[in-house]
A and B are shown apart, each in its own frame.
Chain A
Amino acid sequence: SQELEQSPQSLIVQEGKNLTINCTSSKTLYGLYWYKQKYGEGLIFLMMLQKGGEEKSHEKITAKLDEKKQQSSLHITASQPSHAGIYLCGGTDTNAGKSTFGDGTTLTVKP
Chain B
Amino acid sequence: NAGVMQNPRHLVRRRGQEARLRCSPMKGHSHVYWYRQLPEEGLKFMVYLQKENIIDESGMPKERFSAEFPKEGPSILRIQQVVRGDSAAYFCASSLAGSYEQYFGPGTRLTVT
Contacts and interface: CB of A to CB of B under 8 A. Distances in A.
B59 to A, nearest CB: 7
Contacts of A94: 100
A103 interface: yes
B42 A45 contact: no
A111 interface: no
A41 B41 CA distance: 14
Contacts of B97: 96
Contact of A95 (B31, B42, B58, B100): B100
Interface of B: 31, 33, 35, 41-45, 48, 55-56, 58-59, 89, 91, 93, 95, 97-107, 109
A100 B106 contact: no
A59 B59 CA distance: 36
Given A45-B104, A48-B101, A88-B42, A99 B33 contact: yes
- State the majority secondary structure of interface residues on B: strand
Contacts of A97: 48, 55-56, 100
23 contacts: A1-B58, A31-B100, A31-B101, A42-B105, A42-B107, A43-B43, A43-B104, A45-B104, A48-B101, A94-B100, A96-B31, A96-B95, A96-B97, A96-B98, A96-B99, A96-B100, A98-B48, A98-B56, A98-B58, A98-B59, A101-B35, A101-B42, A103-B42
A98 B47 CA distance: 8
Interface residues of A, number: 24
A94 B33 CA distance: 15
Contacts of B56: 97-98
A90 B43 contact: yes
Nearest to A40: B109
A31 B106 CA distance: 22
